Structure 1
């Protein structure tokens, strides 16, 4: 059965793209008087739209993107976002000129919408170029620009023996998206360099097929921690987003993926828990199958915490942060710390100068970093890999290191 693509959103985007470019063309006409501007500009726009539509047609029924679609879609996206920036600055300039026109006592010629200042258009063009450069960096280097983010968390019920205990978390590897094993190895080396007591992985090892992790088994199997390496499944790990020849093939794929977790040295927690012992004291490390609003509510928290006590100190691995809001933060048996991923920070945004913004905030109110409520803490990892957009801009791949401290 062939995979069906809905062309209506594509056509709508193309129409918007043409209207946007009419605005861009009017701005460029202010600073470029050559007659060649029209055929070159609109010829390039036609090329972008045509190549995108042709590559979409090419991958129908293939079950995934090929390199031609990636090139066409990433070129389109880069130009589209850069033109939005260009148009935004043109609009700001037009509003400013309109304001001056309305407030000035001397208006010999009145306001002309397209009579723009060449200096302002030049500035908008500079911002366009900077956006393109930023996208090129994000696609070529940013997606492997691993960052270590450290948190120290204080709990009044942490067992004394675990005071100063450290764990390293990564999430959302999406091995099928990797194209640079050497860059991935640098991330693995950075993980091991943290020398944490515990390593945890919070889901989405692959995009769809278990075989995607095979080229990187030797890389991720290098990860070692004294208290072990533990993992859970994410929504992509179940193979729900591609068409399988039979249901049996889908089940076989999932079983193979579970086997690869074991081959990596990861103890996969499927609605279960383990006890981490130190000096006669313990903490509970639990993991659930993926539970996420709109992404499959498989996980069973009651089963995962069966035979644990309310006063046990618990760490939960749960891929989707919507689980924490819907279930975990009010769960009768207190779960002090939950570790999640899933959002990727949408791989695009800004976290600088006191600003924290990504488009993903319109889907998830809290989408990265720490959140505390009801005396319980959630950490959302921004992801180790990438998916869809083969790059990262402003939201870099993350290795989280958390130190647990006991309140005095």
Structure 2
């Protein structure tokens, strides 16, 4: 049965976009009233819209090809700049209505300069920002951390999305930065590829360079299951997943599929567990009870779980305490601001906590902002992340 498409939401979106464009054009005509302004503007808008719709229709057969990437990026930049321009224009028009003066041409010109700056920021994000790797370090204190693990370090990366990479030199810089952390343990928290296992093959020699004394461990993310593209049959889809698991082995990663391993340091231990992807709206495959079945309630436990919604839904209230959960998935939406005490991204409207450390009931969650990128071929303000976490015993208070 074909899925029915609701016309009303599409009609509302179309009307809102038309009003937005009409308002933008009114601003442009304030400083350019030639006979060609209006037809050129609407011609560009129409061409962009038709190209976008066409690329979306053919995406099912061709995937995210060059046409799709170009049209979606042009549309995204156009939409964001139009919204910003309209916001400035609206401020000027409110002032104009209050003071009963004509629209200020210089204010409109200033708004266009801001738009130009935004376009340049987008260009930087596409060309440089997506490979602008950052190391973010956290020190976490626990009352019940085994003393031998005091100072134990973990390097985490997540959301590689290897099918999006085009620049081996830039990716190698990220790998070198990861290796330079010299952590005791390395973990990868899912989404190795966009859709197909073959996407990681050209990058195996890069990511297999990362080694740690206590091993390299990984879990699957929602994109790793191949759910977002058509397959000839279920057998082909299953074979793709099995091939991806083999590539984890080639990378030197121990893939944790609802299971755990014990890490020993002297006579003491901690538990490292990993679940298959469990995320609200993205497939609830993981079995936390199975992953923790071999551990004791009082064991110190670290969990790898790709989607942070799993932590809120199950992990934080599980009777067997998981001290630290490491996730990814959100990418920080690859767009936002984290500066001057401000931490904002549109993804906050989907996930209340979307990056970095949070805690509840003495249980910590870290959400890595992602090593790679997907959809928007860039990053603005939310840079690719390599996380380093140091575990410390809480100091005793006399």
- TM-score above 0.5, yes or no: yes
Match of 1:158 among 128, 139, 145: 145
Q: Distance in 2 between matches of 1:144 and 1:12?
A: 37
Residues 372 and 164 from structure 1, CA distance in 2 versus in 1: closer, same or farther, beyond 3 angstroms?
A: same
| Residue 119 of structure 1, aligned match among 89, 98, 106 | 106
CA distance in 1, matches of 2:35, 2:218: 61
In the other structure, the counterpart of 2:248 is 261
Where does structure 1 lack aligned partners over 5 or more consecutive residues? 102-110
Q: Please give the alpha-carbon distance, in whole angstroms, between the structure 2 residues aligned to 1:402 and 1:5.
A: 47
Aligned to 1:74: 73
CA contact (8 A) 1:148 1:400 kept: yes
The residue correspondences of 1:31-46 to structure 2 (distance < 5 A) are 31-46=31-46
Find the aligned partners of 1:307 and 1:383 in 2 and give their Cα distance. Answer: 30
Which residue does 2:393 correspond to in 1? 406
Mapped contact 2:60–2:230 kept (Cα < 8 A)? no
How far the C-alpha of 1:44 sits from its partner, in A, is 1.9
Determine whether 1:244 maps to 2:231.
yes
Distance in 2, matches of 1:51 and 1:308, equals 55
The answer to whether the 8 A contact 1:30-1:118 is kept is yes
When residues 211 and 12 of structure 1 are mapped into structure 2, their CA distance, relative to the original with a 3 A threshold, is farther
Aligned to 2:27: 27
Hey, what does 1:107 align to over in structure 2?
Answer: none
Residues 81-160 of structure 1 aligned to structure 2 (within 5 Å): 81-98=80-97, 100-101=98-99, 111=100, 115-160=102-147
Give the superposed CA RMSD: 1.8
TM-superposed CA distance for 1:55, in Å, is 2.2
| Residue 365 of structure 1 pairs with residue 352 of structure 2 | yes
Aligned CA distance change for structure 1 residues 314 and 185 (closer, same or farther; 3 Å): same
Quote the residue 1:48 is aligned against: 48
Asked if the contact 2:60/2:229 (under 8 Å) is kept, the reply is: no
The 8 Å contact of residues 260 and 294 in structure 2, kept in 1 or not, is answered as no
State the number of aligned residues. 394
Can you list the C-alpha shifts for 1:255-313, whole angstroms capped at 9, x where unaligned? Answer: 10000000000000011111111121111111011111111111111111112111111
Distance 2:195 2:95 in 1: 50
Match of residue 306 from structure 1: 293
In 2, the alpha carbon distance for the partners of 1:292 and 1:81 equals: 29
Q: Is the 8 A contact 1:351 1:395 kept in 2?
A: yes
Secondary structure of the 1:61 match is helix
Q: 1:60 to 1:311 in 2, by over 3 A?
A: closer
Match of 1:219 in 2: 206
Cα 1:6–1:176 change in 2 (3 A) is farther
User: Structure 2 unaligned runs (5+)?
Assistant: none
SS in 1 for 2:61: coil
Q: Is the 8 A contact 1:384 1:398 kept in 2?
A: yes
Q: How far is 1:61 from its partner?
A: 3.0
Q: 2:57 maps to what in 1?
A: 57
Distance 1:73 1:324, change over 3 A: same
Measured in 2, the distance between the counterparts of 1:370 and 1:349 equals 17
Query: How far did 1:10 drift?
Result: 6.5
Report the Cα offset of residue 52 of structure 1. 1.6
Distance 1:10 1:56 in 2: 15
In the TM superposition, residue 25 of structure 1 has moved relative to its aligned partner by 1.2
> 1:315 aligns to what SS in structure 2?
strand
Distance apart, 1:18 and its partner CA: 2.9
| 2:270 equivalent among 283, 305, 308 | 283
Contact 1:4 1:61 in 2 (8 A): no
Residues 260 and 375 from structure 1, CA distance in 2 versus in 1: closer, same or farther, beyond 3 angstroms?
same
Query: In the aligned structure 1, how far is the partner of 2:229 from the partner of 2:48?
Result: 27
Q: CA deviation at 1:222?
A: 0.6
What is the CA–CA distance in structure 2 between the aligned matches of 1:242 and 1:73, rounded to whole Å?
18
Instruction: Quote the residue 2:327 is aligned against.
Output: 340
Contact 1:338 1:379 in 2 (8 A): yes
